[in-house]
Amino acid sequence: MDGPTIRTVFGNELRGALRDRTLTTHFIVIPLLLYPVLLWLGITVALLYDAGSEDTSYRVGISPGLDPALAGELRADPSIDAFFASSGAETGGPGGGFDATAGPVPGGDGLPGGCVITADLSTDRGRTAAGVLEGLARDVRAAGFARLRDSLGIGRAEWEVFRISTSNEAGGRDMGGFILGLLLPATFAVMVSIGCFYTAVDATAGERERGTIETLLSTGADRFSILAGKYLSVLVSGMTSGLLNTASMILCVSAILGPLLRSEGEEISFAVEPGAAFSAVFASALLSALLSALMIASSSLARNYKEGQAMVTPVYLLSVLPVIFMQDPSISFSVSTAAVPVLNAALLLRDSLTGPAEPLPMVISAVSTALFCLAALWAASSLLSREEAAFPGEATGKRSLYSLLRGRRNTGHA
Amino acid sequence: MPDSAVTAVDLCKSFVDDSRGVIRAVDEVSFHVDRGEVLGILGVNGAGKTTTLRMLATLIEPTSGTASVDGHDVREDPKAARRSLGFLSSTTALYPRLTARETLRFFARMNGYPRERLEERVEKVVEMMSIGSYADTRIERLSTGMKQKVSIGRAMVHDPPVLVFDEPAAGLDVLNAHEMLAMIESLRDCGHAVVFSTHVMSEAERICSRIAVIHQGRILAEGTVPGLLERTRADTLEDAFVSLVESARV
């Protein structure tokens, strides 16, 4: 390996990537703006929904014999247009059918009377109307209980019999770490992957499509150093993507979610401890190192962007796997999970947000990732040393990937 | 051949094709090129010119035979062989997002040019190629002729003793082709050994010290233009070429 060659290729690849709008969009702009845009969209949609729901009213039929208190509540509720129905739920009021109907259930055999709510629960309006009716019916029942308690002369505390309350001993910082741990790791893996994806394809398949691979391989540089320089540039773009995305999420959550939770009486801090920040950088490096190597290796076979994207997609999907395991809180960053690539980085990030990570699993993660990376880079280097790497399909008269895989090694392997 | 910058001895290259079987693209090709000399490799499309030159550039490995560039064997020390030559073909493209000056800098570094003299050398090449007016413009914004000038600069920026040009005028208009041939002449006059492949007779006639006619992977004849004319009793190089190829077919 030749240090100056690695530095030169690395600088060239990174400069090229920073000058390409598509690449910068994928490894800088999207990771940075994803959460602000998502939050803005979420808030806008929520506001629109609230504004729309304020004007919405539900047509509710009141069947004869319904508890007068409940009937009164229904008529008084502004979100309900109540109509007296002469018979069952299907009876239409003026202009069409009801969203829901409320009818009486007679008491007897030791059971109290009440109401039955009928609605078409396969429709949004039916479900919402039934929910509103149920809420009002519960209020009427609660008022009934209060009247009974008063008539029996029982105090409030006696009536409650057994009080339950929960106290949260976690501090504001712990809760902030917990919330970030829920939100971050899943998208973190995807973002690192996106950051690596396009730069890897550009550095390999893009080089062939542009016709620069022959120019590059005709220089007096050794193949592995060229590959190492390209690998480092992909790694840096993946790490940049992951870290920008993490910073963006923490800022968004602190600036928007924090004040909202504080207004609800929750004191939550989203400040990140230095240890957690180090772990985030370490996790980002682990994931980028592995995905870069795998993506470089898989796209080394490709002759153009289209083929490169198709070949890198399985690696991209691999990065989505941790999302599945993240849902299980019993899986944590430990000696056994530290050896599993991709998952180890996501778990390390999640767990480090709620407490310091153990050094031994971190070492195991680094070793495991290094082994996978070396295997992938060895494969990529072998492919780059074949004649068809510079002239895919041309020299042998074949255009299949199979020909590339079984092609002759060229003399420029030094 | 004590002063030969390039020697090729019995170079062979075979490919395997599923439908056509074993193809002998280059068949026992031998030649040498001295410093300050331009060897023209003349042949029709598919004659084996590009494969021969790619073997010199160590981009593909000879099936048998050997070659050396500035004393470095292409099999034993391919890295040193590549550092001793500048390779340019119609398929060696430039990085579109780099400027012309950045391109020269990048390829000088890739070929191990001393860091302390790099900037001076880049500026010299910029001046030699007369590309100063667009040296800081990205390659993607340059015309074909401008790109070709930068390409030649790219091939010679590390000051290699040997230059290999594979059909460098392909796709260029008359004026740009003329200018490019003039540059190759000046490189020859500066003492570089140049291997130049083409199928355009006038180009070969103008700049080549010697010519090797290659057909179906074999060298049919090698010599100066007057020597070839005399051997084939032809009036023009084109007639001499046709005569050699026709006699090989028989």
**pLDDT tens for each residue of B35-46:** 999 999 999 888
Boundary residue ending a domain (B142, B159, B176): B159
Q: What type of residue is A168?
A: N
pLDDT in tens, A178-218: 877 777 777 788 888 888 999 999 999 888 888 898 899 99
Considering the domain architecture, whether residues B169 and B216 belong to the same structural domain is answered as yes
What local confidence, expressed as pLDDT, does residue A120 receive?
Answer: 86
- Residue B206, domain member (yes or no): yes
Q: Which domain holds residue B127?
A: 94-159
pLDDT at A410 over 70: no
Lowest mean pLDDT among A311-315, A408-412, B100-104, B156-160: A408-412
Across the interface, which of B18, B58, B97 has its CB nearest the CB of A411? B58
Considering the domain architecture, whether residues B169 and B63 belong to the same structural domain is answered as yes
Closest by Cα among A311, A304, A300, A295 to A206: A304
The residue ranking higher by pLDDT, A386 or B223, is B223
The answer to ipTM > 0.85 is yes
Three-class SS of chain B:
CCCEEEEEEEEEEEEEECCCEEEEEEEEEEEEEECCCEEEEECCCCCCHHHHHHHHCCCCCCCEEEEEECCEECCCCHHHHHHCEEEEECCCCCCCCCEHHHHHHHHHHHCCCCHHHHHHHHHHHHHHCCCHHHCCCEHHHCCHHHHHHHHHHHHHCCCCCEEEEECCCCCCCHHHHHHHHHHHHHHHHCCCEEEEEECCHHHHHHHCCEEEEEECCEEEEEECHHHHHHHHCCCCHHHHHHHHHHHHHC
Considering the domain architecture, whether residues B43 and B26 belong to the same structural domain is answered as yes
Distance CA A134, CA A113 (A): 15
Q: What's the DSSP call for residue A86?
A: S
Is A219 near chain B, with CB under 8 Å?
yes
Considering the domain architecture, whether residues B188 and B227 belong to the same structural domain is answered as yes
Is B51 near chain A, with CB under 8 Å?
yes
Distance CA A148, CA A160 (A): 13
| CA angle, A320 then A324 then A325, to 5° | 110
| Domain count along chain B | 2
pLDDT at A87 over 70: no
- Domain A56-160 matching CATH 3.30.70: the answer reads no
Tell me whether residues A214 and B109 touch, CB distance under 8 A. Answer: no
Cβ-based contacts of A411 with chain B (< 8 Å): 58, 60-62, 74-75, 78
- Residue B69, domain member (yes or no): yes
Question: Residue A164 has which token pair?
Answer: 């339950």
Query: Cβ contacts of residue A179 below 8 Å, gap of 6+?
Result: A253, A257, A268, A270
Tokens 């090729």 sit on residue = B8
Q: How confident is the model at residue B122 (pLDDT cuts 50, 70, 90)?
A: very high
Considering the domain architecture, whether residues B113 and B99 belong to the same structural domain is answered as yes
What local confidence, expressed as pLDDT, does residue A156 receive?
Answer: 82
Considering the domain architecture, whether residues B153 and B181 belong to the same structural domain is answered as no
User: How far does the CA of residue A27 sit from the closest CA of chain B (Å)?
Assistant: 18
Considering the domain architecture, whether residues B223 and B179 belong to the same structural domain is answered as yes
Instruction: Provide the angle, in degrees to the nearest 10, between the axes of the packed helices B144-156 and B174-189.
Output: 10
Tell me whether residues B17 and A222 touch, CB distance under 8 A. Answer: no
The answer to whether B13 touches B62, Cβ cutoff 8 Å, is yes
Considering the domain architecture, whether residues B210 and B239 belong to the same structural domain is answered as yes
Considering the domain architecture, whether residues B174 and B240 belong to the same structural domain is answered as yes
Boundary residue ending a domain (B159, B186, B208): B159
Q: What type of residue is A72?
A: G
Q: What type of residue is B248?
A: A
pLDDT at A223 over 90: no
pLDDT at A144 over 50: yes
pLDDT at B89 over 90: no
Cβ-based contacts of B104 with chain A (< 8 Å): none
- Residue B130, domain member (yes or no): yes
Question: Residue A124 has which token pair?
Answer: 């949004």
Lowest mean pLDDT among A152-166, B102-116, B189-203: A152-166
Considering the domain architecture, whether residues B59 and B73 belong to the same structural domain is answered as yes
Distance CA B149, CA B132 (A): 11
Tell me whether residues B94 and A212 touch, CB distance under 8 A. Answer: yes
| CA angle, A397 then A399 then A405, to 5° | 100
Question: Residue A178 has which token pair?
Answer: 């917990």
What local confidence, expressed as pLDDT, does residue B84 receive?
Answer: 93
Strand, helix or coil at A374? helix
Considering the domain architecture, whether residues B117 and B206 belong to the same structural domain is answered as no
Closest by Cα among B165, B19, B196, B200 to B90: B165
CATH number at residue B62: 3.40.50.300
pLDDT in tens, A324-364: 777 777 888 888 888 888 888 888 888 877 777 788 989 99
Residue intervals of chain A classified under CATH 3.40.190 are 56-160
Strand, helix or coil at A386? strand
Tell me whether residues B58 and A19 touch, CB distance under 8 A. Answer: no
Across the interface, which of A16, A211, A390 has its CB nearest the CB of B97? A16
- Residue B89, domain member (yes or no): no
Considering the domain architecture, whether residues B198 and B228 belong to the same structural domain is answered as yes
Question: Residue B171 has which token pair?
Answer: 């796709």
Query: Cβ contacts of residue B116 below 8 Å, gap of 6+?
Result: none
pLDDT at B64 over 50: yes
Q: What percent of chain A has pLDDT over 70?
A: 89
The answer to whether B98 touches B151, Cβ cutoff 8 Å, is no
Boundary residue ending a domain (B105, B130, B159): B159
The answer to whether A292 touches A229, Cβ cutoff 8 Å, is no
Across the interface, which of B20, B95, B109 has its CB nearest the CB of A8? B109
B59-73 mean pLDDT: 92
Residue length of chain A: 414
What is the per-residue DSSP string for A175-208? HHHHHHHHHHHHHHHHHHHHHHHHHHHHHTHHHH
Cβ-based contacts of B54 with chain A (< 8 Å): 391
